[in-house]
Amino acid sequence: MEANKHLADALDEAGFTQVELAEAVNDYLRSLGREGTVSDRTVRHWLTGKTRWPHPRQREALEAAFGRSAEDLGFRLPSGRRSSTRTEDPVHRRNFLTAATGTTAAAVPFVAARPHSVGTTDVIRLRNGLDTLTALDAAKGGHEALERAALAGAAEALELQKRAASQRIRQRLFSVAANYTASAAWSAVDARRSARALSHLNRALYLAGMAKDPVAELRVWNSHAMLALHRGEFSQAVDAGQAAQATAVTRRDPLFASLAQARTAIGHSSAGDRRGALRSLGYAQEALTKASSEEARPSWVAFYGPAELLAITAIVRDETGDPAGAEAASHCALSAIPQHYRRNRALTTLQLATAQLHQRDVDQACGTADQVFVLMDGTTLPGRMRSYLGGFYRDLTTLAPGSSTAREWKDRYRSEWSQAR
């Protein structure tokens, strides 16, 4: 008897217990007018492999809950048996709310109003939509269509909580709404739409409080810290980083503690507090060594780990007067950042170019900065990246005003800038 790892992984990703999955399946069965008799013992049989092929309606409920086929969830039809005909593909059970501009589209699972009370299945469906938005953000960066889709997801979650089957479901829907709103806020931060980002973040913080969700609270404070940096409000960036440190999740998960300390380190370094920056950076490094890679976490924090901390180290080192250390950390980060994180690789490449420029290596710095345009080829540059490129341009003008290499890079920068708008 072999354990069903695929189902276990799906359960971890959704953040639900065995009891809660049983509730989700029963909710779905009851919505079809069937009796919901699935228990946590049933779920254990699925997970251990004792039950390799659930009853047809249970399979349908599982597919609806996770948005995956029974086979993708690790179930296998016993040899010699024929599967009952599936009348509807699991994907067809999910309607999608789409917001699009040009060629960009963001999809969020939409749960239509139904007469029965809202339960765990609805929460899982909406949570699956958050993963869709996270993937879209990783591919294209912050943009208006993503922001609109995230706000639509938040509105749907808040509408559903009015018919929640229990207070626990209400809190989870508030959590989902908080995370959708935080996704909208982050999209606005990345697009350099500060006023909208601030409004969304304040709303997300309220919803996270209603949900009693410390992970969502930390997410909001993390984005608050980044927004404050963009606005030049460095003491507020430190305050936001310290608020993130104070959330309850940092006491049970060292990875979140590390992220909060790293964000605080950037705030200190931007404010000119070298000692505070290096102290927070040290705490971030220490906490990350204690973090488990096996812990189930939401998809939005997947970007953070050793590679991202190295990239943050490069920023802190450069801002505290150690461009050589920043260059070394940038090289290490680039060797570790996954290839599919194009935007993160481009930002770290630009940080490497900045560290080289601050060491007066103008030719190499311009050559490195050129790679940003190569990495982002075919994708509109997010506002945050355009802003950082503008910072490199200003430093280049100050440090090497007469260099022919600098003039050539400026010409390319102006050309790329005009295409990025």
* 207 and 126 within one domain: yes
pLDDT in tens, 192-222: 899 999 999 999 999 999 999 999 999 999 9
Helices (H) and strands (E) in the chain, counts: 19, 2
Give 419's pLDDT tier (boundaries 50, 70, 90): low
pLDDT of 183 > 80? The answer is yes
Q: Is residue 333 a part of any domain in this protein?
A: no
Query: In this structure, how many other beta carbons lie within 10 angstroms of the beta carbon of residue 162?
Result: 9
In a domain, 78, yes or no: no
Same-domain status, 194 and 121: yes
φ/ψ region of 83 (left if φ > 0, alpha if ψ in -120 to 50, else beta) reads: beta
Residue 107 has pLDDT above 70, yes or no: no
191 and 127 share one domain? yes
Q: Which of 39-48, 359-368, 377-386 has the highest mean pLDDT?
A: 359-368
The answer to whether residue 163 scores a pLDDT higher than 90 is no
Instruction: Give the domain range for residue 181.
Output: 117-212
Pick the last residue of a domain from 196, 212, 228: 212
Tell me, yes or no, if the pTM score tops 0.85: no
The total number of structural domains that make up the chain = 2
The mean pLDDT of 24-28, rounded to a whole number, is: 80
Domain limit, last residue, from 184, 212, 240? 212
Distance separating alpha carbons of residues 55 and 57, to the nearest angstrom: 6
Same-domain status, 186 and 129: yes
28-37, 81-90, 155-164: lowest mean pLDDT where? 81-90
Other CB atoms within 10 A of residue 161 CB: 21
Distance (Å, whole) CA 365 – CA 351? 10
Is the predicted pLDDT of residue 245 greater than 70, yes or no? yes
Q: With 0-12 CB in 10 A as exposed, 13-18 as middle and 19+ as buried, what is 115?
A: exposed
Q: What is the mean pLDDT of residues 260-265?
A: 97
pLDDT per position as a tens digit, 130-154: 888 888 877 677 778 889 999 999 9
Asked if residue 70 lies in contact with residue 63, where contact means CB atoms within 8 angstroms, the answer is yes
Are 53 and 140 in the same domain?
A: no
Question: Of 285, 295, 303, 354, nearest to 326 (Cα)?
Answer: 354
With a pLDDT cut of 70, the percent of the chain lying above it is: 88
Domain-embedded: residue 347: no
Residue-wise burial string across 236-255, b where 16 or more C-beta atoms lie within 10 A, e elsewhere: bbbbbbbbbbebebbeebbb
Whether 404 maps to a domain, the answer reads no
- Structure confidence at residue 246 (pLDDT): 97
**342 within a domain of the structure (yes/no):** no
pLDDT on residue 32? 73
Tens-place pLDDT, residues 321-368: 999 999 999 999 999 998 888 889 999 999 999 999 999 999 999 999
Query: Stretch 381-389: mean pLDDT, rounded?
Result: 85
Residue 84: band (very low, low, confident or very high) from pLDDT cuts 50, 70, 90: low
Q: What is the DSSP letter of 214?
A: H
237-242: list long-range contacts, CB under 8 Å, 24+ apart: 237/263, 237/266, 237/267, 237/270, 237/271, 238/264, 238/267, 238/268, 238/271, 238/273, 238/276, 239/267, 240/267, 241/265, 241/266, 241/267, 241/280
Q: How high does pLDDT run on average in the chain?
A: 85
On whether residue 150 sits in a domain, the answer given is yes
Count of other CB atoms within 10 angstroms of residue 127: 23
Q: How far apart are CA 45 and CA 190, in angstroms?
A: 45
108-135 pLDDT, tens digit per residue, is 444 443 445 677 778 888 888 888 888 8
In this structure, the answer to whether residues 67 and 122 fall within a common structural domain is: no
Around Cβ 1, how many Cβ atoms within 10 Å? 6
pLDDT, residue 102, reads: 38
